[in-house]
Chain A
Amino acid sequence: MIRIGNASGFYGDRLSAVREMLEGGELDVLTGDYLAELTMLILGRDRLKDSNLGYARTFLRQLEDCLGLALEKGVKIVANAGGLNPAGLAEAVQKLGHDAKIAYVSGDDVSDRFPEALTANAYLGAQGIAECLGGGADVVVTGRVTDASLVVGPAAAHFGWRFDDWDRLAGATVAGHVLECGTQATGGNYSFFTEIDARRPGFPIAELHEDGSSVITKHDGTGGAVTVDTVTAQLLYEIGAPAYLGPDVVTHFDTIRLDEHERGVRISGTKGSPPPDTLKVCLNTLGGFRNGTTFVLCGLDVDAKAALVRTQLEDAIGTDGLTWTLARTDQSNAATEETASALLHVTIKTADPKRAKAFSRAAIELALASYPGFHVTAPPADGTPFGVYRAEYVPRESVQWKAVQL
């Protein structure tokens, strides 16, 4: 059995989680997911400012604090915090000292095939991670691997699975899917939160077995809960058809069996089949500039107030790229000012940064010249660039992962 924990579900998750997981009980591997479609865009913009960046900087802060502790406890660290620059992050981790063996996985960057893109990264599987761990690495950082690979890689390395052991890989993928969003598996963001102590959920752990089955649990004494319901909730997160496609295996979510277990939930029965011939690519392009504001419309004549301010703003900057939404949150004859108010949201998306900025000025200039009771929830700032996401697919044999030991 191998105990694989998670300490991060996104770039921005609980900073103290790495320490909590290392100090809270037994563990063999600690993983962290830092990448989402949106994160790749954020890192892409970081990298435009400084080519040495492009990785999740909070991970480095966590290792500054905890790398010594992890080594002392013999816990391996595996994270996709490398983002667009896994080599840069690996070097930065090495500079922390402690004589740790650092490795990284790259090869996911396919931006040369998509010249219009700010970022273009193929979702790699678990093989690079398994190779790094097989080579004795204490810390493995990667670029864009699938979230579940962070669990599949260590399990495959530990048990010596072949990468055509479809059912085992699928079992580990399910465990990885449960872990990848951190506390979303342990009672965070949970529909039946009133039935548990949801104040500070502990991060999840998968006890993986040689056959690919697992027990989902968490450290003793932590908050939240691991039940068939909390695990079901996370299994349903961000999935499509029951045949869940991945770079290593297709995992059949309609074969998963969940049972209550004394320490949490046992997962078994999962079937896998060979992966598709293509790899998915996360592609972000710069779409232009956006800006927005929210007008508060209080009391009487809400529709007429909305119509007036809309006409005024459109007269000033034109109608192109504007999206209006009137949310009738107002109640009639309300006993508080807030519940007497409706919200009128307006967003501008434009190729012209000057026009995105002019939007702010136009909105604010209406402050004494528009509907009675004019105010906004927050003044509009300068426009910001926005990204457009799309998925692309490339032949799997055209992408070669690389495992590099520093």
Chain B
Amino acid sequence: MNAPLGAIAGARSGDKGGDANLGVWVRSDEAFAWLREYLTVERLKELLPEAGEVDRYELPNLRALNFVLHGLLGEGVASSTRFDPQAKALGEWLRSRVVDIPEALL
């Protein structure tokens, strides 16, 4: 079913120098099994076309994935010309993207 990712996932994002990090978590084991499969680096780049080089890490104990988006913020917050130079809302942007979520998880 088409729904925003944020219907089942929370997110928090922030900056480390010129890189942004974006943590995404869900609230049940079933949802994590789906998220882990679904939210690959390629899928993240489709949902956030502004992303360049991306690393992805799994934290199953937190039912979470963590992405590091390299170079998104140029040379850091004070220098960046991005609209959101500290990537504070990157996670909320991702949560607003409409994706195909199994109906049982909604």
Residue numbers of A with Cβ under 8 A of B are 37-38, 41, 184, 189-192, 229, 232-242, 253-258, 284, 287, 290, 292, 323, 325, 327, 345, 347, 349, 386-391
The chain B residue with its CB closest to the CB of A184 is B12
Q: Which of B23, B62, B63, B77 contacts A38 (CB 8 A)?
A: B77
- Report yes or no: B75 in contact with A233, Cβ–Cβ below 8 A: no
Give the residues in chain A near B68, CB-CB below 8 Å.
Answer: 240
- Report yes or no: B27 in contact with A229, Cβ–Cβ below 8 A: yes
Evaluate whether A237 and B76 lie within 8 angstroms (CB atoms) in the complex, with A191-B91, A323-B81, A389-B17 already known: no
Give the residues in chain A near B21, CB-CB below 8 Å.
Answer: 236-240
Residue numbers of B with Cβ under 8 A of A are 6, 9-12, 14-18, 21, 23-25, 27, 55, 57-64, 66, 68, 75-79, 81, 83, 88, 91-92, 95
Evaluate whether A349 and B95 lie within 8 angstroms (CB atoms) in the complex, with A240-B68, A255-B61 already known: no
- Report yes or no: B77 in contact with A239, Cβ–Cβ below 8 A: no
- Report yes or no: A389 in contact with B64, Cβ–Cβ below 8 A: no
- Report yes or no: B14 in contact with A238, Cβ–Cβ below 8 A: yes
- Report yes or no: B10 in contact with A192, Cβ–Cβ below 8 A: yes
Q: Is the interface of A mostly helix, strand, loop or mixed?
A: mixed
- Report yes or no: B12 in contact with A325, Cβ–Cβ below 8 A: no
Looking at the assembled complex, report how far the CB atom of B26 sits from the nearest CB atom of chain A, in whole angstroms. 10
- Report yes or no: A41 in contact with B78, Cβ–Cβ below 8 A: yes
- Report yes or no: B27 in contact with A241, Cβ–Cβ below 8 A: no
Give the residues in chain A near B10, CB-CB below 8 Å.
Answer: 190-192, 229, 232-233
Give the residues in chain A near B77, CB-CB below 8 Å.
Answer: 37-38, 389
Looking at the assembled complex, report how far the CB atom of B24 sits from the nearest CB atom of chain A, in whole angstroms. 8
- Report yes or no: A386 in contact with B78, Cβ–Cβ below 8 A: yes
Complex-state Cα separation, A388 to B77, whole angstroms: 8
- Report yes or no: A233 in contact with B83, Cβ–Cβ below 8 A: no
Looking at the assembled complex, report how far the CB atom of B97 sits from the nearest CB atom of chain A, in whole angstroms. 14
Give the residues in chain B near A258, CB-CB below 8 Å.
Answer: 61-62
Looking at the assembled complex, report how far the CB atom of A168 sits from the nearest CB atom of chain B, in whole angstroms. 19
Complex-state Cα separation, A388 to B79, whole angstroms: 6
- The 12 listed contacts between A and B (C-beta, < 8 Å) are A37-B17, A38-B76, A190-B10, A235-B62, A235-B64, A236-B12, A236-B24, A236-B64, A239-B66, A325-B81, A347-B81, A390-B76
Evaluate whether A390 and B66 lie within 8 angstroms (CB atoms) in the complex, with A236-B25, A254-B61 already known: no
Q: Which of A238, A253, A347, A349 contacts B16 (CB 8 A)?
A: A238
